Chains A and B, each alone.
Chain A
Amino acid sequence: MSDPQTALRPDLAIIGDLIKPDTRILDLGCGDGALLSHLARTRGVRGYGLEIDPANVAACVAAGVNVIQADLDEGLADFADGSFDYVVMTQALQALARPDLAVAEMLRVGREAIVTFPNFGHWRARWAIMNGHMPMTPALPAQWFNSENIHLCTVADFEDLCRKSGWNVLERVLLDRAHHRGAAITLLPGLFCEIALYRLRKPANIVPVG
């Protein structure tokens, strides 16, 4: 078995760096448990992964990760308010029935939410639409009719939702396909970011500074 630490996906590595040691985390759509396994070994982070796919569940079990087989669309009713420091969801938001309710649930259960999603405003997507077609890009490889991504949004759309919902954006990381933060992204984030990462918090939880 390869060392999961070296094999950690770049976006997971970026999230890993945002998690403080000895905290509790809930990872929604945890896949094979790579992030949880990494955080448990390197930062003493404890928690659970939620995963629907049986093969992934079995992989988590093999890795010694606490995994709970569940459908994210059924919500987080089994988890108490504020029971985790972080609730993380990578690349699943756009596949959910109600992404807005999902993020709200994440912020109910966790003190902070970390989400990543593909930016539908990336120039490749815009270019495809200009040419009269739904985009098929490296970040969005499926066809419109068989894609699991039913609620795609742009970085600007997501930030609108945050504003309307009153969620505070603590951190925003915009990445290209190779998970780099290039100069083009800094200049024109909406056009050049392929994967967006947000760290959110409910304002009520924020202690006023000064």
Chain B
Amino acid sequence: MTGTPPQHASSADSVGIVVPRTFAIEQPLLLDCGRTLPRHDLMVETYGELNAARSNAVLICHALSGDHHAAGYHSDSDRKPGWWDSAIGPGKPIDTRRFHVVCLNNLGGCRGSTGPTTLDPATGIPYGPDFPIITVRDWMRSQALLADQLGIARWAAVIGGSLGGMQVMQWAIDLPQRIGHALIIAAAPKISAQNIAFNEIARQAIMSDPEFHDGRYYAHGVVPSHGLKLARMLGHITYLSDEAMRARFGRVLRDGDGQFNYNYDVEFEVESYLRHQGQSFVDRFDANTYLLMTKALDYFDPAREYGDDLAAAFRGATARFLVASFEADWRFSPARSREIVKALVAAGREVTYAQIDSDLGHDDFLMPLPEYHRVLRNYLSRVADEVGA
């Protein structure tokens, strides 16, 4: 988003130039769908030093379109830093002077980790639509294998927003002994019918693109750019509040002359914005990965195995929880976060809940809102004290 002050790799509160690394996970991974991945690669970035006790590691889980590049810059000429640079860095709420921060591109991603664009060893061509459906729990298992390889027995905290927050919940429920604190931001215990509906429209936009070729578009040397663009445009509308769009675009016309053109070209600023967002997404994201990510969202429902009782799901958790939501977020509204809090209270877990006054919408979780960052900072400062960071 625009409006943030200019930052550089050389800023005192930036992690600076960062270099992603590939980790080869050679253990087979049995997936929720029943299939097994014999091995996989994960693209990883880390910021800050791991202490001698290996107690100060923090895992950052990314959302739908995120990746391993959460903070810093890949080169001096990078225009934009990583996706959560506002919160990660020296002196920032996720303070890299105290924590060893780990962020990875999730399995099924398209930014270097094994996913649909990877060559299937069985066929020698990209997996494409044959890549198995990945669930939030599969991600957690894959992340746990990465933690083993990094020598991290227990995360001081696992942190994530949106779909990332769902991964945090899964960690707290399934691997309680490996997580000290769970920070669940702008998430939901499962997504609503409305949310599934948005995802389905996004998928249909991609799959009905003539260039989709049943997901085997790589072989045709094309991408379903039109469908992916539509999917992203739709997504963007749901990440912003009505008020934020009104404030930012209103009904301002693209042409300065104030005259209607009475045609189907871009007339209003908001149309121009959405087309631009859609196009820039097509340039960096794979359509099959987008399909996978939306399915992971749809399937997430940790209470399902506990008789639809979320409190029962949390009863075995030992982490302390910080749950945060944003007033202007209607895609993952505060009411959904309160469901999580309610279940945690019913399960007798330690939980703090902050409902942040905000304007933007779901994307607020990426913004450096003072009230939000103060809570994050205060919370994580205690975590750092606790683990001797």
Contact = CB atoms under 8 A, between A and B. Distances in A.
A78 B345 CA distance: 9
A69 B354 contact: yes
Contacts of B374: 54, 58
Interface string A66-79: 11111000000011
B194 to A, nearest CB: 22
Given A57-B375, A58-B374, A61-B378, A68 B353 contact: yes
A67 B342 contact: no
A67 B353 contact: yes
Contact of B345 (A62, A64, A69, A79): A79
A200 interface: no
Given A48-B345, A54-B371, A69 B378 contact: no
A83 interface: yes
Contact of B352 (A60, A79, A80, A83): A60
A78 B338 contact: yes
B351 A61 contact: no
Contact of A61 (B346, B357, B375): B375
A61 B323 CA distance: 12
Contacts, number: 50
Nearest to B341: A68
B275 to A, nearest CB: 37
Contact of A58 (B350, B357, B378, B382): B378
Contacts of B346: 80, 83
A112 to B, nearest CB: 19
Q: Is the interface of A mostly helix, strand, loop or mixed?
A: mixed
A174 B375 CA distance: 37
Nearest to B374: A58
A83 to B, nearest CB: 7
Contacts of B352: 60-61, 65-68
A64 to B, nearest CB: 6
Interface string A119-162: 00000000000000000000000000000000000000000000
Interface string B351-389: 111111100000000000001001100110110000000
Contact of B353 (A64, A65, A69, A83): A69
A62 to B, nearest CB: 4
Contacts of A48: 345, 351
Q: Looking at chain B's contact residues, is the secondary structure mostly helix, strand, loop, or mixed?
A: helix
B341 A78 contact: yes
Interface residues of B, number: 21
A61 B379 contact: yes
Nearest to A50: B353
Interface residues of A, number: 18
Contacts of B371: 54, 58
A66 B342 contact: no
A61 B338 CA distance: 17
Given A66-B350, A67-B352, A54 B357 contact: yes
A69 B354 CA distance: 5
Given A54-B371, A78-B338, A78-B345, A64 B382 contact: yes
B240 to A, nearest CB: 23
Contacts of B350: 66
B381 A62 contact: yes
Contacts of B345: 48, 68, 78-79, 83
A70 B378 CA distance: 19
A62 B357 contact: no
A80 B352 CA distance: 18
Interface in A86-102: none
A64 B351 CA distance: 10
Contacts of A54: 354, 356-357, 371, 374
Given A58-B374, A83-B346, A66 B351 contact: yes
Given A48-B345, A57-B375, A78-B345, A68 B351 contact: yes
A69 B322 CA distance: 11
B98 to A, nearest CB: 16
Contacts of B342: 78-79
A46 to B, nearest CB: 8
Interface centre among B341, B342, B352, B374 (most CB of A within 10 A): B352
Nearest to A60: B352
Nearest to A84: B345
A60 B375 CA distance: 9
B355 A69 contact: yes
Nearest to A78: B342
Interface in A167-197: none
A54 B355 CA distance: 9
8 contacts: A48-B345, A58-B375, A62-B381, A62-B382, A67-B352, A68-B341, A68-B345, A69-B353
Given A60-B352, A79-B342, 20 more contacts: A54-B356, A54-B374, A57-B375, A58-B371, A58-B374, A58-B378, A61-B322, A61-B352, A61-B354, A61-B382, A64-B382, A66-B351, A66-B352, A67-B352, A67-B353, A68-B351, A68-B353, A69-B353, A69-B354, A80-B346
Query: Which 10 pairs show the lowest CB-CB distances between chains A and B?
Result: A62-B378, A61-B378, A78-B342, A68-B353, A69-B355, A58-B374, A54-B371, A61-B379, A69-B354, A67-B352
